[in-house]
Each structure stands twice: as structure tokens, then as C-alpha cells.
Structure 1
Amino acid sequence: MAANVQEAIRDTASPDAARSSSGLYALMRFAITEPTQTLTILNTFCGYLDSKNMPASIRPTASDEINVDRALNSMKGVALVGTLRSTDSRVIEALRRVWPHVMKWLQYLHTFQLDNEHLGSDQRVAIFTLISGAHKVFNQTPELQALTRNTPGYFKLLVEQWKMQIRVPGFISNPPIYPLSNILTAHTNTLIPTAADAISTITTLLGGPDDVARIALEHLSASAEQTKSQANYSVAISADIDFIANLRTSAPIRYALLSRHAVRAVTNLFFSLTAGPVNKETADSVTMCMVSCGHFLGFALEQSNGLPWVIEALNNQLVSAYIRCSAWMPYMKPVLVKHFLVPLRDTLPKYLMYVSVLKAAQRGMKKAQPLEAKMIRKGPLWESWSQFKKLADERIGMLSESNGGGDKHQVCFNPSCRKVDTQDAFLVCNGCNDAYFCSKPCQDAMQEGHRRTCEELQVWRRDGKTAPMFDKDFAFAGQVAQRELSKRLGEAAAVWEREMPKVPVIELDFTASPMKVRIGSATTVRPSDYATDSDERTSWDALVKKAEDQRAAIARFCIPEGEYQKVGVDLLKRA
């Protein structure tokens, strides 16, 4: 081993050292211990990685083992450069000179893996690790990020490496240095002009939306299986979940993930994370992974019409998972708690107005009952759980009283009508079985307007993107809305008596959690898109005119349906 910088520089020029890069690695250590020699060392490093030393110029008798060893040691040298102060202009300039050669080494390592199917796992893991490490070095400053962004083929290399990992047992280093999923998530916008372009590129490289979804979920499953015994195992899992969440901006990939039961996969993983006793050494990484699960479920549960994914999560013990998190909460960063609790605090309560969800919640709460006694009875998690449980118990009581739904009511789909009556009195669309009309004139009036929505809904159901709601779901939702309305009519009457509106209005918004109530007039309580949507404005004005003619008040209900909302209205007789 060289004793000083000069000896190390001489060693890099020797035939053996030049072929194996061992002299280079020794040289780079002095960049840390002898800062006054940094510039000399970096210049030598750049010269070593010049094109004349690249694998393509090595004589044909050189073995793959020598080439790979050269590449791996070169990447170690790059990693050592990255330990220097990244704001040092000399370091940045040296890395700028090094990058084209580093990219060639990365391409060589990638091609070597593709051409050698029987390559050992240890060597593949070393290559994955060093590719990740090299990227981390060149992500330190905007100047260095620009190098990777403007390099053709670099993003493709990362995506193909990520895909390759699922075929390699033990592909995650211990501890994970910089998971490739993390790289793809964090640098999508810096590698390609826009996130949409990046995801489009990923889709093209991997074969299509369904292939992207399949590989992403296989990657998550492999990460979870391979890292159970590692101290920082949650780092790799969090990276995979965050990358899957990042892919949701593409609708085809989003629905492919849901069709492949991404909600079930993440919920099961969430449940397994909470299975063991709290370990202070791993608490940071485990709680970060829990937050990633909560973040993913927060948006995934409300895709399509919401019900299939909410029910899927509840059936896979989402309630128990949250209760078992109680012991981990003291270790979760306070700033992340709000995002972590979104499914329990905001999403699930909204859907307790549907029978299918309520019964799934009832089953989940029964399984979780023995765990509740161990909860820490204070803090945001306890408050969210208590509110959810109270609302669920109240709705379960309603369901018992009504024997599963009671009279079935519907709202006319024609926005200029919105008549409420028993379902038997309505005509139903034969295409989607989702739109109800109180009369043939109303159905004819909406024929063109409903056609596109009807066709889209039929395609969604055919492709498994949504599931039809049952009549009992709509019926019970109507009962919930009417009961909540009856609770607030006294308050509404007092406001109307004081303000004397020409057309009194009360709105119950069940898409918010907790439910929001607005009481006022037809001008102060309007649909949120009244000013921007001409159809909504025309419909509302017609309804207000009808209420005025009948000397009635308007009750407006906003019901959650995943990506959309169902709006119902009722005209209330005034004394």
C-alpha cells in the first residue's frame, strides 16, 4: 500500500495497478487525508478514467473479471470523491471531467450484467450498489445533476437496472445505500423535462402500464422479503412504495396497480411492519415506512368510485395495523403524523355511509378489539381511532334499525330536476345501471349528456377499474343523509328566521371528514363550481327557481364516490 500521494500516483501508472484500479483506490484515500494535494489527486483520477483506459480499448485477451474489477474500483474512487466538500469548485470541476468516463463504466457494467445471465448474485449486488453510489455523488449540486439529466441513455440504464433487480436474490445491500427506487422517485423531474415524460419513458421501456405495475409490485414484494432481517430494512421498502405512489400520475399505470391489488399488497405490508415489538434502533426507518404506507393508501383508497379499495384495505386488517402502530407513535416525526393518519382520520370515515364498507369495517373492528387495550390513550392516533370507532358504532346501530337499508330512494339524474323518490318509481339506464330518471322526458333530455359518462363507466367496469355499487349502498347512504339533515333542521330554521333568505339552502358535504354543513341562501350556499361550470350554473338556477315557485327550501347532499362525488337535492316544505 502506498505510503504517500506520490507513491500512489506512481502505482496508478504501473501495469498491474492500471489494470485492476487498486492503485486508483489507494490514491483516492489521500484526497481525504491530505487536502492540500486534492487538486493533484483529482487530476490524476480524471486522467486515469480517460478513454484510453476504458474497457473497449483493453486488449482482447483481458478477461471479464479484470474489466469488472476495474469498473468496480473506479466506482469506489468516485464514491471517495463524493466524500469531499461538494461546494468546493475544484471537486465539482473534477467530477464534471470524470462524469463522461463514469457513464461509460456504468454502461459497461450494465451490459456485462445483461450478457452474463449466470453472473453470481454477490457480483450483481456489488454492481447495483456502486451504480446507486455513483448516482448519489452526482446528485449533490444542481451543476452535477445537470450532467446526469443531459446524458442520453442514463435514465434508461437506471430503469433497466431497477427491473433487473427483481431477478436477483439478495439484491439489496446491507444497509441499503441508496435504493434504485429512491433514485427513480427523487430524480424523475431532473432526468427528463417533466414527470409525465419520465413516466412515459418508463412505460415504453418496460412494455406498457400493466408491465410497469407488475414489476413495481414484484419489486416491493422482493424488497419486503429480502430485508426482513436487516437493521435498516424499511429504507428499501419505503423507496419502493414512494416510487409506486409517484407512478400514480399516469392514469393507465394507476388503474393497473389497483387491478393488481396494490392496495392489498401495501395494507398487508403495513400490517406486517407492526407485528414485532418496538425496536428503538430501527424505529426511525420503520416509522418512515409506515408513513409511506399511509401516504400511498391516502390517495389509492379514493380512486375510481372508492368502494372496492376501501373494502379491500379493511378486509386486509387496516384497522388492526393502525391500532398496532400505537407503540411506534412516540418515534414518528411529528411533522409526518398528519400524513400518516389520512386514511384513518379522513378517508375511511367518509365511506361509512355505505353498507358494504360498514360491514367490512365491522369485521375489521372485531378482529382489532383485543389490540385496543394496549393502545396509548392519548395523541393524534388515539383521537383519530376514537372518532372513527364512534362514527362506525353509530352507523352500525342505524344499519341494525333499518335491517340493511330500508326503503330504497334515488335522485333523478337530470340536473334540472333532481327529484327524490323511491327507486321503484324511476327508470334506470340499461347501459351502466347507474343513472336513474324520474320520467321518460328526463331520460330523453339527458340522452346525449349521459352517453359519454355511460360508455366510460362500462369500459372501466370491463377493465376492472371500478365496481358497481349495490342498491343497498345507495339506499343506506340516503338514510344517513336524511338522518343527518333531520339533526340540523332546527339549527337551519333558526338561521333562516334570522336572515330571511328568499330561497333557504342547507348543504351537507359528506365528502369532507368530518362532514361539513353550510346554511344560508341560494346565493351564499352554491355549488363550488357554480362560477366556472355553465351546466352546473344553469342546473342550480333552475332548481332555485323551482324552489322559489314552490316556496320550498333546498337541501343539498354531496356524497363521496372516489374520484368524483354524487350530488343529491331535496325540496323541503316551508311552514
Structure 2
Amino acid sequence: MGWSRLEGSMTLKLDAAHYRMLLPNTVKYRQHVRFRVLSKLLNVTTTYSVLDFFLSESNLEHGYKGVALFSDPNVISWTLFRCFSPHSHSVLLPPATMPMDQVQIQRLCGQLTGIESPSESKILELNRAIVQCDTKPLLDPILKVLLSLLDVSKLPSGPNVSSEDRGKRLQTAQLCLEALANTSVHFNRDFGQDLLSRLTAFWPTTLLWLELIHMHYIALGVRQPMADRFRAISTIYKVATLHGKDPGLRSRMGSSEPFMKILVKTWQFRSQHHTLDAHQPVTRTLTMYLRCHLRPNEYGLLWNDRNEKQFIRWIGGTERSVAEAALEPFVHPYAGEPDTAADAEFLSLVSAGRSDMNECKVALSLLMLHSPHRVSLRIVNGMRVLSGTTPVQFFEGVAASYAYIRKAFDKVKAEAWVIYALEGHLLLALLETDIHLARLRSEQNQKFYKDIVRQCLYLLGNALPQYLAYRSVVRLAKEKIQKYNEEQNNRWDTQIALGKTLFSPLSNALAHYLNFLGQRWNILKHVPNTYRNTFVCDNPPCSKTGQEKDFKKCSKCRKAFYCSKDCQTSDWKEHDHKNSCRLLQMNNAQLDDDLHKDKQQARFLRRLINWQIDQCMPLINQYARAIETNRMVATLDFSKVPVEMRITAYTDSLPYFEDAYGWEENAEEQWRKVGKTQRDHPGQLLIVAHRIPNGCVGHMAVTTLRVAVDGPDGGIRRWVENGSVDGENGNADGENGNADGESGGTIDEVD
């Protein structure tokens, strides 16, 4: 009997013998046909035979693939049930009696409502009702009853609960799970998508089911091979990862008490029975937990200090030698395999208080860890315990760690990500690498040595410097380096000087980064911290600056300021203040803090643009004399290292610039806005646009400069038209347009 015949005979029912005959041909046959057939032909009788083969010891790898390919939630839910049933060989079939109508189903659900341990006959009736359901209204009350009976809070616990009561409740839960699985088996694929949302409630019951397995084996004394038990638990973690994109699901699984209990019991069992036959299923159970629970959030962080301490406390009584022996086969070499992530993280956790040699073994396995904080610390610690490692282990571990960090920087482009990496002592890790790298260099380590140097040069020459366009990154990097020097007797400066003498490529890169940082720090030091006393018109086309007495605030939110009634009307109608006003009325401290940071960043960015333009004035002057048009555009790209500037003539192909708030300012409106200034001061106009990593930050992205070719001194006159950091808008003499910004009021200390 072949698959082609099955495809044309959807009423055929497979038995175990037929399915076993077909299994060897499943790989050869087209996948979509194979599983379309299975989704329609699987029934209560054959499902266990399928899973028994899929999950057998000799076919475990193919079995996981088979379970994963059952994309239909109906099949997956039934798969889960049959994997974990202690009475897996006993099949629960509803009795063949007369069909039940809607009134009978509702009456049955009413009888089961509020009962914690209904009789087996009642649940069998419920199963019979499920089989006969063909519409959603009939299924709704049944699902409600089942999920109520499976409520985790109703599970008997505590020292006063007798084994008889516990056993009765466990039996009820088992029967309810079988009934719930039937709800998916007896509905076709078309109904599956609608049922998927309902089955989300099934996942917390699988957490309950995990605990039921252990309680059933321990309290009732049911015997089952240990390897089979933990292979089943591993399978549920594996299938759960298929649906791990749901944040609510991850939260429920991570915070579930039964889920944590099952992890502890699993580890306790592993510490007591480290025999070969149970070794792989148990370790797989733990790693599946990590893969399912430790999912990255928006910044890629997957493990916090609280979770780590709690986990280490759980496994603190276990001998590390046993843990290392159990996990040794799962520590893969540096190959970039994402499936090693959970094993690597678990190895680092069970090795808390680890030996010298194990430290670099941890670093070796950190390639796919979603935390630069943890990777950096592993590198730093690994560098400081080299006496217990061999050079090969050391280079492999560091190369894998830096490869991960580079990949993370390429994938997650965000200011918060860089700040988190700096908080994780990435700069210190780079310094430690430079200190120890030359000591262990040899012929056999050339491959890893070159790899490490290449990754570090990328971080120091590209990934880290480009984010120095952010005020917060500049401040943090400066603070970290000062702290390292204070705590380690100027170790940073000493190593850079020594490395230059020894022609170390990393020392030169560190020196260049330090110079670049010092340059940006000098600009940052002169940025005024007086935004609450200096106001900017919140109408985007205006952006006029002045004192508070010159502005009027919005009477509703009291956070938007305008220089005139016309600007207020324009912002309300054309620039969506009507909608944002409601949000601004919340008047919370976090919003004020965000506004403060945003305006401080805008001031820093304008000063940085001003300074960069000042450095490029000879080039601008040369281009201005050669070009015929009186409209030029200079684009500063701070995401490049060094900063790139392109000067082009304005054409119709550049219709607008987009500012930090996402408004599209038409370039022609910019010309009209500065038209009066152009008439008063003949010359060429220069529009300066900028780009920084992860978009523009600040409340203006377009700065208009004046270039007067025929100035009295034969040079270039310029000023900042919008939001000048110099305090004087439109000054034709350029006295207040210097890059240092020494005029235009007092300069406060940088906060």
C-alpha cells in the first residue's frame, strides 16, 4: 500500500502494521503529500503506533523531525498527549452509542462544571460528545469544562493530601487531557487554524502534565524506564519551541511553578543516575528547557542575574564533575551551530565557581549566546585564568566569543545594544585580549589568532566607533575607560603605549578608538545643559529658539511650546500634535526624562555636525567656487568610520529630508523659509543632512548653512539657520558660528 493510494482514499483507516510498512518510504515521498495524508488519516488507534516509531530510541532524530513537521496544531496536540500518557498502550475510545444533540452536550457540561474529580464514565461521555461536535458552538462549552478540570491550581499538594486523593486527581487530569486531545483529532484541517488560538490554553496544561508524570511515577509507584520518561519530557520541550514566538507562551512557561519543579526534579534525577542509557534524554531535557525559556527580548537579552542565581542555587548541591561529564558531549567545537546555544549556556551555569580550565571551555561554547554582557565577562575571566588552559582551548574559546559579538552587532543595530555591551565590559575584554594574545601565539594557533585579531579590529574600527554619535555611548565609554585606569593603575594607557612599541595591531586599534572617543568627548563637554531654559518652537517648519518669555505653551499638554499662534495652528492641523497631545498629557516622570535625553542628544548632534562641517570647510569652499548652482547638499554619514561627507548639487531627485520625528520636510519649503536670509546675504546655500546608526536622533535632522563665496576676507562665511547651538540665529559675520561654540550664553556642566 503506497502513499499515492492513500492520497486518493481519504476514508481508509490505517492500523499499526500498515503504518510501519509505510514509514521506510516517508523520506522518499513528497513531504506535503505525506503529511496531508497523515493529517486526515490519523485516528486514535494508529496515532500511538506512529509516535511509538517516531520516538523510539533508534529513530529519535528522525522522530523529532517527524513531530516538527506536523505543523497542524490538531496533530501536534494529539502528539503531545500520546507522548506523555503513563497508560500509553491503553487507548481511550468513546463508546459507540447514539449521537448526542446540543441539549445533551450542554446538560453534560453543566453536570461537570464545578466538579474536581468527575467519574471516568462522565469523561468518556465527554469524549463521545467531542467526536460528534462539528461546529464551534458545540465545542465551546466542552473546552471550557476541560480546561477548568485541568486548572493547575486545583492540583492537590501539601503534606495533608493522601496518595488516594492525589491518584484520583491525577487520573482525572489524564482522562481530561485525552479528551482535550480528542478535540483536535476529530476536527479537520480547515478547523485547525481557528482551534489554534484555543489550544494556546493547552500549553499550560502540558506544564501540569510534566508534573503529573513525575507525581504519577513517584506517588503511585508506576514503573517506567527512566530514559523513556525523560525522552518524553524532552519531546514536549522540543515541540514547545515550535511555538516559542508567542511572548505570552514564553512567559507562562518560564514562570510556571510546575515547570520549575520539573527542572529541579530532572536535575536531581540526573545527579543520582548518571548511567549511559539515561544520559542523553536527561541532558536533552535540560537543554530543551533552556531553548524554550531563554528567548531573547527586543535587545537580545535572554538570561538575567535573578534567573542565574536561582538556577545555580537549585543545582548547587550537585558535584561539578558529574555535571561536566554529563555535558561534555554537548560542547561542540567552534562551528556557529545555533543548536549549541542552550548547551553552552547550561555549561556556563553549572560551572559557576568553575575551575580554570572550564572557564575557557565556557567561552568556547558562547557563540550563539544572546548577551554581549555575558560573553565579555567570560572573555575577561578566561584571560585571567590562563594557567589552567592550553593555548588551543584558549584561542578556540576567544575566537568563538568574538565571532558571536560581531554577529550580534551586525544583527542588532541599536544604541541600547551598544550600551549593554559596554556595561558588560566589552572594552575591558578587548584590552585583556591584547595583553594576553601575544603570549600564546604559535604556529598551531595561527588560524585562531588571525580570526581573533580580525574580529577585534572590526569591533574597534567599525562597530564601536560609529555609535560615538550618541551622547549616551560617549559618556559611558569615557567613564568605563577612566574606571579601568583608576582600578588597575593606568593599565589601559600603559598597554596601549607598550603595544605601539611592539607593533601590536590591537594596541594601535585601541589607540585610534581612544583618540576618536576623546575627540567626541571634547565636543560633548561643551554642549549646554540648559534645555529647560532654552526653548524651541515645536512647529517643525519653524524651530525658532529663544527664552521662555518669548513662547506660549499648549494649554492642554503644557509640554509643546510655540513662538506664535500661527505655528500652534500649523502644528495642530498639519503635524499631528492633535494626537500626540493626548499622550503628552499623561505627565509622567519617564516622559520628562525621555524628553530631557532627547534634547540633550539633539544638542550634542548639532554641535558634532557643526564641528564636522568646520573640519570640511576647505573642501566645501573649493566645491562652492566650482559649482554653478546656488543650492548644495552636504550629507554627513556618522555610521561610517571615518565620517564620510558627500557634497552634491541640489536636484529634483532629492525632494525632501526626513527629520527625527518622521516628518517629511519638502526641500522647497526649506528654500522658502530661508528665502529672506538669501536675499539679505547673497551667496550659496548649503543644506546639511546627516545619518547616524539606527536613524536620526534629535529634534532636527536638516541644518541650513550659508556659504558666501565673495566674503570680505575672501573666505567662507556661514551660520546655523535652525536651532543654532551658538545662541545667535542668522549671524552673517560668522563670529558666533565657530566650532567651539564659546559664545551664545553660559555653558553648564555636562550632566
TM-score category (smaller protein): 0.5 to 0.7
Shift in alpha-carbon separation, 1:440–1:301, aligned structure 2, 3 A: farther
* Distance in structure 2 (CA, Å) of the matches to 1:450 and 1:553: 30
Q: Residue 274 in 1 paired to residue 380 in 2?
A: yes
Q: Residue 292 in 1 paired to residue 404 in 2?
A: yes
Shift in alpha-carbon separation, 1:440–1:545, aligned structure 2, 3 A: same
Displacement of 1:288? 3.1
Displacement of 1:572? 1.4
Shift in alpha-carbon separation, 1:573–1:159, aligned structure 2, 3 A: same
* TM-score normalized with structure 2 length: 0.44
* Distance in structure 2 (CA, Å) of the matches to 1:215 and 1:124: 30
* Distance in structure 2 (CA, Å) of the matches to 1:340 and 1:362: 19
* Distance in structure 1 (CA, Å) of the matches to 2:552 and 2:302: 37
What is the CA RMSD across the aligned residues, in angstroms?
6.1
Sequence identity, in percent? 14
Displacement of 1:272? 3.5
Query: Bigger shift: 457-466 or 521-530?
Result: 457-466
* TM-score normalized with structure 1 length: 0.55
What's 1:46 paired with? none
Task: Answer whether contact 1:176 1:233 (CA < 8 A) is retained.
Answer: no
- Measured against aligned partners, the alpha-carbon deviations of 1:441-495 in whole angstroms (never above 9, x if no partner) come to 3233112424245656788975999574175544343322212111112211211
Q: Residue 405 in 1 paired to residue 405 in 2?
A: no
Q: Residue 572 in 1 paired to residue 697 in 2?
A: no
Q: Which amino acid aligns with 1:443?
A: Q
- Measured against aligned partners, the alpha-carbon deviations of 1:216-268 in whole angstroms (never above 9, x if no partner) come to 88667754422454575458755552xxxxxxxxxxxxxxxxxxxxxxx7425
What's 2:668 paired with? 541
Task: Answer whether contact 1:509 1:517 (CA < 8 A) is retained.
Answer: yes
What's 1:321 paired with? 429
What's 1:260 paired with? none
What's 1:553 paired with? 685
* Distance in structure 1 (CA, Å) of the matches to 2:458 and 2:584: 28
Shift in alpha-carbon separation, 1:537–1:480, aligned structure 2, 3 A: closer
What's 2:474 paired with? 358
Task: Answer whether contact 2:468 2:520 (CA < 8 A) is retained.
Answer: yes
2:569 aligned residue (436, 444, 453): 444
Match runs of 1:470-485 below 5 Å: 472-485=600-613
Q: Residue 390 in 1 paired to residue 502 in 2?
A: no
Q: Residue 76 in 1 paired to residue 76 in 2?
A: no
Query: Bigger shift: 274-283 or 404-413?
Result: 404-413
* Structure 2: gaps (5+ residues): 1-23, 25-42, 70-75, 87-205, 219-224, 244-248, 271-278, 312-345, 438-444, 486-490, 711-751
Q: Residue 519 in 1 paired to residue 664 in 2?
A: no
Displacement of 1:395? 2.6
Task: Answer whether contact 2:633 2:647 (CA < 8 A) is retained.
Answer: yes
Shift in alpha-carbon separation, 1:161–1:523, aligned structure 2, 3 A: same
What's 1:59 paired with? none
* Distance in structure 2 (CA, Å) of the matches to 1:165 and 1:381: 46
- Measured against aligned partners, the alpha-carbon deviations of 1:28-51 in whole angstroms (never above 9, x if no partner) come to xxx9xxxxxxxxxxxxxxxxxx99
Task: Answer whether contact 1:510 1:557 (CA < 8 A) is retained.
Answer: no
- Measured against aligned partners, the alpha-carbon deviations of 1:129-149 in whole angstroms (never above 9, x if no partner) come to 77669999x9xxxxxxxxx97
1:508 aligned residue (619, 631, 636): 636
Task: Answer whether contact 1:235 1:289 (CA < 8 A) is retained.
Answer: yes
- Measured against aligned partners, the alpha-carbon deviations of 1:68-96 in whole angstroms (never above 9, x if no partner) come to xx99996532248799xx9xxxxx9xxxx
Match runs of 1:82-481 below 5 Å: 106-108=83-85, 113-116=210-213, 160=253, 168-169=263-264, 179-180=287-288, 222=311, 223=346, 224-228=348-352, 229=354, 233=362, 238-239=367-368, 241=370, 266-277=372-383, 279=389, 280-281=392-393, 283-284=395-396, 287-296=399-408, 302=414, 306=415, 310-311=418-419, 313-326=421-434, 327=436, 345-346=461-462, 348-353=464-469, 356-369=472-485, 370-371=491-492, 373=494, 385-399=510-524, 402=526, 405=528, 413-419=538-544, 421=545, 427=551, 437-448=562-573, 449-451=575-577, 452-453=579-580, 462=590, 468-469=596-597, 472-481=600-609
* Distance in structure 1 (CA, Å) of the matches to 2:550 and 2:460: 36
Displacement of 1:271? 2.1
Report SS of the residue matched to 1:281.
helix
Report SS of the residue matched to 2:697.
strand
* Distance in structure 2 (CA, Å) of the matches to 1:335 and 1:458: 53
- Measured against aligned partners, the alpha-carbon deviations of 1:505-539 in whole angstroms (never above 9, x if no partner) come to 32323355443312122228947767xx996253x
Task: Answer whether contact 1:507 1:525 (CA < 8 A) is retained.
Answer: no
* Distance in structure 1 (CA, Å) of the matches to 2:362 and 2:456: 19
Displacement of 1:184? 6.0
Task: Answer whether contact 1:508 1:556 (CA < 8 A) is retained.
Answer: yes
* Distance in structure 1 (CA, Å) of the matches to 2:84 and 2:432: 46
Report SS of the residue matched to 1:397.
helix
Q: Which amino acid aligns with 1:114?
A: E
Q: Which amino acid aligns with 1:271?
A: L
Task: Answer whether contact 2:690 2:696 (CA < 8 A) is retained.
Answer: no
- Measured against aligned partners, the alpha-carbon deviations of 1:202-229 in whole angstroms (never above 9, x if no partner) come to 9xxxxxx99x988888667754422454
Greater share of helix residues, 1 or 2?
1
Number of equivalences: 435
- Measured against aligned partners, the alpha-carbon deviations of 1:45-64 in whole angstroms (never above 9, x if no partner) come to xxxxx9989999xxxxxxxx
Displacement of 1:542? 1.0
* Structure 1: gaps (5+ residues): 1-30, 32-49, 57-69, 87-91, 93-98, 139-147, 151-155, 187-198, 203-208, 242-264
* Distance in structure 1 (CA, Å) of the matches to 2:367 and 2:558: 40
Displacement of 1:364? 0.6
Shift in alpha-carbon separation, 1:504–1:321, aligned structure 2, 3 A: same
Task: Answer whether contact 1:505 1:525 (CA < 8 A) is retained.
Answer: no
* Distance in structure 2 (CA, Å) of the matches to 1:392 and 1:293: 21
* Distance in structure 1 (CA, Å) of the matches to 2:535 and 2:476: 24
Q: Which amino acid aligns with 2:704?
A: D
* Distance in structure 2 (CA, Å) of the matches to 1:104 and 1:319: 50
Shift in alpha-carbon separation, 1:232–1:214, aligned structure 2, 3 A: closer
Higher relative contact order (CA 8 A, sep 6+): 1
Q: Which amino acid aligns with 1:494?
A: Q
Task: Answer whether contact 1:427 1:437 (CA < 8 A) is retained.
Answer: yes
- Measured against aligned partners, the alpha-carbon deviations of 1:295-331 in whole angstroms (never above 9, x if no partner) come to 44666672xxx4x665555445332133334457977
Q: Which amino acid aligns with 2:516?
A: L
Report SS of the residue matched to 2:651.
coil
Shift in alpha-carbon separation, 1:309–1:384, aligned structure 2, 3 A: same
Displacement of 1:498? 0.9
What's 2:341 paired with? none
* Distance in structure 2 (CA, Å) of the matches to 1:505 and 1:417: 20
Q: Which amino acid aligns with 1:362?
A: K
Shift in alpha-carbon separation, 1:557–1:185, aligned structure 2, 3 A: farther
* Distance in structure 2 (CA, Å) of the matches to 1:435 and 1:543: 22
Task: Answer whether contact 2:363 2:398 (CA < 8 A) is retained.
Answer: yes
